[in-house]
Homo-oligomer: A and B are copies of this chain.
Amino acid sequence: MRIGEVAAQAGLATSAIRYYERLGLLPPARRVNGRRVYGEDVRVRLVVIQGAIASGFTLKEIRGLFAGRPYSARLRRLAGAKIRELDHSIERSRAMQGLLQKALRCRCLTLEECGRRMLGGHGKRA
């Protein structure tokens, strides 16, 4: 496979593939006449990368996941940390949904009014 095909399959731009290679997320591709040629492995790798990105890993972190031999220990540590991070972010998202739903239910004419209520009635209630 050449870069265009790989990119298309992964739903990425070719520039992104090259970028990942430059960052060390992908191993340097084999070249044929200067062009990158890929085996099936890259598909798996990209799935992993995209999963990791969607998990909230930064590209640097993801490179870390692949770097060094013993993936396991490092992976476990990072995965654990990221799971907790995701818990936080989910919690925050929920809180914010609550906030927005409150905003939807209330009949505030301005966001300020909403904000004032959300601050908790330290002023003129109702």
A interface, CB within 8 angstroms of B: 41, 43-45, 47-48, 51, 54-56, 65-66, 71-72, 75-76, 79-80, 82-83, 86-87, 89-90, 92-97, 99-101, 103-104, 107-112, 114-116, 118-119
Contacts and interface: CB of A to CB of B under 8 A. Distances in A.
Nearest to A50: B115
Given A48-B112, A111-B48, A55 B86 contact: no
B44 A99 contact: no
Contacts of A48: 111-112, 114-115, 118
A95 to B, nearest CB: 8
Contacts of A93: 55-56, 86, 89-90, 93
